[in-house]
């Protein structure tokens, strides 16, 4: 058996394995499963605590969130991209956060 933490609001599987995870019971639940699910493709039905397939909208939202996380990580990890963002923010007199948002949006579209 493996125990997985999931978000109560969405049923999205967060993390799991053959250990006893801890979580905030106000926002997350724990479900015991016979095997590790693919968190992209599977969700927890929060009413029954049973595993179900993710809907097309849930897949789209999951993929968008993953892409956003990857692009923000790349932005923060790549010194050249960050340097260009700082330069652009200073040159165009916009807040760095605004420059980062716009650059991440462009990276996601590439």
Mean pLDDT for the stretch of residues 42-66: 94
Long-range contacts of 70-77 (CB under 8 A, 24+ apart): 71/104, 71/107, 71/108, 72/100, 72/104, 74/107, 75/100, 75/103, 75/104, 75/107
Domain ranges of the chain: 2-54, 58-109
- The model scores a pTM over 0.75: no
pLDDT at 76 over 80: no
- pLDDT at position 108 is 79
- pLDDT at position 17 is 84
Cα distances (angstroms) measured from residue 35 to each of 16, 31, 32, 38, 51: 10, 11, 9, 10, 11
pLDDT at 94 over 80: yes
pLDDT at 79 over 90: no
């Amino acid at each position: 058996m493996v125990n997985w933490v999931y978000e109560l609001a969405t049923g999205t599987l967060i993390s799991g394995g053959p250990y006893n995870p801890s979580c905030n019971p106000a926002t997350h639940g724990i479900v015991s499963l016979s095997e590790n699910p693919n968190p992209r493709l599977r969700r927890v039905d929060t009413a029954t605590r049973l595993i179900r397939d993710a809907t097309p909208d849930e897949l789209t939202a999951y993929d968008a969130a993953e892409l956003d996380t990857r692009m923000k990580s790349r932005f923060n990890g790549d010194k050249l991209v960050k340097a260009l963002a700082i330069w652009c923010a200073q040159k165009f007199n916009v807040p760095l956060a605004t420059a980062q948002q716009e650059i991440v949006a462009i990276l996601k579209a590439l």
